[in-house]
Structures are given as structure tokens and as C-alpha cells.
Amino acid sequence: MPDTHAALRNNVHLLGELLGNTIKEHMGEQFLDKVELIRQLAKASRAGSKAGQEALLTELKGLTDDELLPVTRAFNQFLNLANIAEQYHTISKHSQQCPLELNPIAELLDQLLARQFNADTIIENLSKLKIELVLTAHPTEVTRRTLIKKYEEIANCLYVKDHHYLSGAEEEQLIHRLQQLVSQAWHTNEIREERPTPVDEARWGFATIEYSLWHAVPRFLRQLNQQLKQRINRELPLDISPVRFASWMGGDRDGNPNVTAAITHQVLMLSRWMAADLYLRDMDTLIGELSMNECNQHLLMEVGNQSEPYRALLKRLQTRLRVTRDWAESATRSYIEPTADVLLYKEDLLAPLKLCYQSLQDCGMHVIADGPLLDILYRAHCFGLNLIKLDIRQDSSRHSDVIAELTNYLELGDYTAWTEEQKQAFLLKELASKRPLLPCQWQPSAEVKEVIDTCRVLSRHEPHAIGSYIISMAKQPSDVLAVILLLKECGVQHRVPVVPLFETLNDLANADDVIKNLLGVSWYRDYIQGSQEVMIGYSDSAKDAGMLMASWAQYQAQEKLVEVCKRAGVKLTLFHGRGGSIGRGGGPAHAAILSQPPGSIGERMRITEQGEMIRFKFGLPNVAVRSLALYTNAALEAKLIPPPVPKDSWREMMDGLTGTSLNAYSGVVKENTDFVAYFRAATPEQELAKLPLGSRPAKRRTSGGLESLRAIPWIFAWTQNRLMLPSWLGSGEALQQALDNKQEPLIREMMSEWPFFRARVNMLEMVLAKADLSLAAYYEQRLVPESLQPLGEELRHRLASTVEVVRYLKKVHDLLSDEPWIQQSIALRNPYTDPLNVLQAELLFRLRHETENIKPLVRQALMVTIAGIAAGMRNTG
């Protein structure tokens, strides 16, 4: 690596040396020498040495069963330590050496001023901005929370080493602490013994807020405020919170029988408990600081003649927070009505804080007002009393089943057999009716009762605790109206945003018609009060049609939805269900937002943050500050400087490209009779189901083939064997055909002028850089029956051709040459990821062919290779 990355290289070397010390102490010097030999052979193999490659295979295949686990653990641990060093480096004092700016807002403000945007316009648009990041617990985070906490502490030590002047003794003590943490990680099992429960997942999300986002939000807003003051001489409104948070953890029940009504209630109350507890910690600090006796008349009237009026008021708030925390804890298992002292509304929390703030300002104590008190005000506006809003997600068929069972009981007929017009007529009639629909004596089936119980849970919680109700596989207006009716009948009195999720190719194509018909219902138009939210699914559409076709379908669906809502005079909020990997709509968030259709980024937008990407983007406070700034920057830029409307020639080209891409993708995935068998032989897909990653099953149904497999294990499995197939299949054929048809000038014009197309090519390049032909071939050689191997040879030929066409279009010899930071990040990991790939193929072979004599340690070693490769590949799902 070049000298510009010396600081990163030094930290990686330091952590690697500490890991080596631990391995030597625990396993002996001879074992450490073997690990180092494997690493050197992997580097030689990666550099093209045929002898190095053969020696590497010989060394790894010769490992005994007892050696397999410690070797896999050694490489897995190094990859995690390298990730820590890199994540820390992006926000260290050396961060200017990589293209990840600590605060990108300044550059955007300069750009807006150059384009003659005045301060009022900038502040107005910034104040209206509402970005909701929705944390989800999709099973791609393979690292245990126990280890994550150790890794966070390692990053903190690197910060101290980098930013504090240390004496020789102090530096020695710090290195000793790092050695302790690395040793602790080595002696901790990487793999959970049991699957986490939905409550465990929710607690993990709360921990991300507690340890990182709670500190990052006020830091981000202070930086934003500072940039505004410096460049436009304006300050943020006190109540601004451009980025807020929601969660699916404990609310996403689509295909997850472990998420029940009781679980959802428990998670909602735990969220209230955690919020109150965090505010109480802040109160201890604040009461200690605000000892002043001078106050304005409003505060004096509130507390009377007190020698320390601020403390007097804040102690009252502290008491109510304690009552709130105790109530939330006691009501976790079953709902308990709150007493009068329980804080139920955000304004109950904000009012005393704002009174203190204004009094300090009025009395000339501005510097005190803008201390810890301002941080708490920022947190209160962002997190409220519930910490994080909880979304609910359920499949549309579950709601139809409730209505059908009810209409059959009432002898009104079979709801599922009715036409869409009949369904809407019935639902609208019942929505307008004042009498109850659910009979007291009705005994519904267990599945129907669960849906009703969930709706009843929502009726017992304040509106600000609930986010949106998402309907998977929504296809008709009746799917939305049915949910609204069930919420009404179960006692939900406030308006819950009921959000249809369009995720398959056909659903995306029909999304505008569904919303148009829905907005044509006058009762519904009154209900939504001028605001409609729609969720775009990235995962299943990509699995259904391939990345290029899915991306274009998503783009066109958004364009049509924007137009439908504009004509209806309704504000549209688009909810982007993006995954961490390229094949599930992932990639750099900034580029993804700026590549959306013009007009699709309004005042409000929602985006999922999934699995391991939550830790990579928000796991450290300073990293989280940068991530929040990137989101705000991109949303504001997209709003004020929207991308160009695609030319007709671009649209025609995309139609042609995606038609070719879809045919190529479907020809392999859906029409080749050998494909499913090859997929299951060449990847650890079936073994992934045994890895206790998340609470949700790997399949929507226990029976069924590829069509029943969730998009996450579909992507995850291909990432493990380094073929990365879902993210590129079809794209290379489409681009090559366009070049063969003499359309290169138009392709290059699109790359230059159209952010959407440029982002597709750049993300394709990134995933191709992580793919590896030789490793994919090795998996095939060890695991795939000879009769299926011609398909593998064809797939690798397609991959190689795709690499060549992308290299040609990007005018580079090596992929990512114009992104050296990412290129070197991948190169840093390859010598450690490559041996894990070879070992995984070897372990899969042993497990599939020697099932009776396999030791438990060998099975565990396989699980560790999965975790290690995930760490090496970063955005796996």
C-alpha cells in the first residue's frame, strides 16, 4: 500500500502482531509459523504464482481435523481486526488520506451558494428534511454482540493512541490494553450457540443507539450548525432533526413466526425503558452543571423562589423519568396503564428543557445554554420518548385470511373469492360504520388471532412509538384498506401510515396503477391527509430479474409513482428497502440517493439499514457522524439539484439493455434445469440455514426450492464462494451487445451524464472486484458433480466477459483503479479471505462426504469460515 495509507498500514500491522502474540501464547510458535506460511502462500498465489497456489492448496488440504478450527479462527480474527483498523482510519486525523470526508456538508453548501441558492432557501429545505433510517435485523450480521463490544473498545484505543500525547509508560499501558482485548476476542467463540430471539435483535439495535448514535446525533448537528454559520451566517432551528430512526426489530413478522404480538409489545416497552434510562444518565450530568441562580421570569414562575431554579425544574423531570422507566420495566410482559407522572408525550420532556435553555439565553449565559443542555435537546427531538419508532411488517395474505375467516363466520361469503370491487365495497362500508365488526363470541384460528392481537398491541401504544405498517406482496387497493379496517376494529384511533411494498418485477410494473386506484377512493384520500408512503423492494426484484433489470424497474416505478401522486396533489414518501450487498440494492448510500429519479426525493424519505451495514456505518460515534452527514448531504443535494430527466435515447437504451439482461439472467437461473442443483452444490446455501445468525428462518416456507429461498441467503451463498452471481449475471451480456451494435457513444454519454446509469456501472465494477474466478472454480472442483460442471464453466466465462466489458468502459486495466481506497481495502483482505475460501470448500467436502465420522470442531470450523469470509467481503447481504 502507498505511503498515503501508512497510518492504516501501521494499525493493521500492530493488531496483526498482537494477534500473533496471542496465537503463539495459546497454540505455540510452530502453529503461528504455519499460519504465517499460509498467509505468505496466499499472497504469492494472489500475485499469480502457480507454485504458490499449488503449495497453498497442499498446505490447507493437509491440515488435520484438530488444526482446521484454530487456522480458520486465526484468519477470521485478523479480518475482523483489519475491519476495525479501516473503520477507525476513515474518521481518524489521517482521514483526509482517503476519500471519505468527515463532514461533506461544507462542499455542498459551497456548491449551492455558487448556484445562487440563498440562505433562506437552504435553511428552509434543511429544516423540512426528514430522513428516516430503518434498522433491520436481517441475518447478515455474523459477528456476535460480545465481540462487537470488544472491537469497539479496540477502536477507542486506536483513537487514544492517535489523538493523545502519551508518555512511554502510557503508550506501553495502551498497547497492553490492546493485547488484552485481542486476546479476549481470540478466546471468545465467534459463533453463537443459539439463534438470537427477536428481542435479542432489538436489544442489539438499542445498543447501537446507546453506544454510538446517542453521542453521534448531537455531534452531527453541532457540525452541521457550524458549517451553516461559517458559510451562510445562519444557525439551525433548535428543533431540527433531519435524520431520525425507526426499526423492524421485533416488528417484522413477514415469514418469521418468532415475532408475535407479545414480542412486539415487549420490544416497544423495552424501547421506552431504554430511552428513559438514557435521559436519566444525561440528567445526572445536567443537574450537576446547571447550578446557576439567575433565571428569567418564566422559569421563576414555574419553580417559585428557588436558589437553584434550573436544578429544581430538572429534578422534577428526573423524578418523572424515573417513574417512566419503572413503568416501562413493569409493563414489559403485560400492558399496565401509566400513572399521571409517566411521560407519555415528547413535549412533556421538551418543555422543561426548552424553558431552561431559553432562560439561560435570556440571562446572557449563551455558552452554558449551548453545552450539554443543547445536546439533550437535540437528542429529545431525534429520539423522543420511545427512542426509536417500530415498524410492523406482515404479508398481505395474512390480512386477507383474517377478513375471510370473519366473513365466513358471519355467513357473508368467502372474502378471498370476491372480486376486487366487491372487496373494496365491503371494506369501505365497514370503515364508515360505527358499529363493531368483530363479534365478542368469535373464536378465530391461531394465525388469525395473532394478526388481531398485533393490531390490539398497537392500540395500546402512543402514536409516536409506531412507525409504518408495511404490507409485503401488496397487489391491490384492498390489501391496504384491509389493514386500516383491522387497525380500526382493534381500537387504533390514530392514523397509522399503511405502506404497500412492491417487490417483484410485476408488482413494480403495476405499482402506479395500485396507488392511482387507491387514491381514487375518496374515503382513503381523507384518511391519508395528503401524504402517501410507498415501499420499493430491492431484494426480491433483483432475485426475480437480476440486478440491472430490477434497478430499471425500480427507477421506472418511482417515476410513475411520483407522477401519480403529483396529479393527485398528494405528497409521496418513498421507502427504499435496500440491502447491504450490491445484489440487494446496496452500495454507497450517497451515490444511491443521487441516482434516484428527479423529484423522487422529497421532504421525507425512508431507507433500510440492514445487518452488518448498521455496524459498519453507525458502530462508532465518529463513523456515525460521517454517515449522518452523507445522508443529509445527498438528500439535500437531490432535492435542490436534482439529476437530469433521462433522455428518450437513454430510456430506449435501458429498455434494450435490461431486456437482454433479463433474458440472460432468466436463461440461467430459471430455465437451466441444472441451475438449482449447481447452486446447492457449489455454495454453502444449505449449511447457511444451520448457522444461528438471526431469528428469521432462511426460507419463507420449509418446503419449496429456489423460489421459496429468501433474497438474503441467496446473495450470501454466492458471496461465500466468490462467484457473486446475482450481482452481475446478465449485465455483461447486455453491455457487450450494445457495444457490438455500435452504441458505445451513447453508453459513454449515459455514464457521463446520467447518475443512475453511472451508479449501476460503478457498483457492478465494485462487485466484480470482489469476485474471484479461480476460487469459484476450486469450489466447483471440490464440491460439484462432474455432470454439472459445464454450467460452472459457462458461468465463469460469463463473469470473465463481464469483467472485460467493464474494464473497457471504465478505461482501466485493473478494476477500481479510479477508486484506490476501495481497491486497496479489498487487496488488504484477500490474503486472509482466500485461505478461508479454500478451507470452506475443503470443509464442505468433508461434511458432505464423511458425515458419520465428522468431529464437532470441523462443523464449527465451517461456521467460522462463513463468518470470516463475511468479514472479508464486508457487504455480504
> What phi, psi does 647 have (nearest 5°)?
-70, 155
Contact 77, 186 (CB under 8 A): yes
Q: Which of 543, 560, 770, 810 is catalytic?
A: 543
211: which DSSP letter? Answer: I
Q: In degrees, to the nearest 5, what angle opens at C-alpha 185 toward C-alphas 179 and 186?
A: 90
Contact 750, 552 (CB under 8 A): no
How many alpha carbons fall within 13 Å on the CB side of residue 811? 3
Q: Which residue has the cell 496483526?
A: 16
User: Among this protein's residues, is 494 annotated catalytic?
Assistant: no
- First-to-last CA distance in the chain? 28
User: Among this protein's residues, is 138 annotated catalytic?
Assistant: yes
Contact 831, 785 (CB under 8 A): no
Burial class of 758 by CB neighbour count within 10 A (0 to 12, 13 to 18, 19+): middle
Burial class of 778 by CB neighbour count within 10 A (0 to 12, 13 to 18, 19+): buried
Length of the chain measured in residues: 877
Beta bridge partners of 133: 245, 607
Answer positive or negative: Cα dihedral of 95, 100, 103, 104: positive
Question: How far is C-alpha 118 from the geometric centre of its chain's CA atoms?
Answer: 34
> What phi, psi does 648 have (nearest 5°)?
-60, -35
Q: Which of 5, 89, 138, 810 is catalytic?
A: 138
> From residue 504, how far is each of 266, 509, 620, 666, 708 by CA, in Å?
32, 9, 35, 14, 13
Residue 94 CB coordination number (10 Å): 18
Contact 590, 630 (CB under 8 A): yes
CA distance linking residue 736 with residue 804, whole number of Å: 9
Q: What is the dihedral of CA 719, 721, 723, 724, to 10 degrees?
A: -10
CA distance linking residue 146 with residue 658, whole number of Å: 44
Contact 661, 731 (CB under 8 A): yes
96: which DSSP letter? Answer: G
- Bridge-based pairing state of the strands 571-577 and 498-502: unpaired
DSSP of 733-757, one letter per residue? HHHHHHHHTT-HHHHHHHHHH-HHH
CA distance linking residue 608 with residue 390, whole number of Å: 13
- Residues marked as catalytic: 138, 543
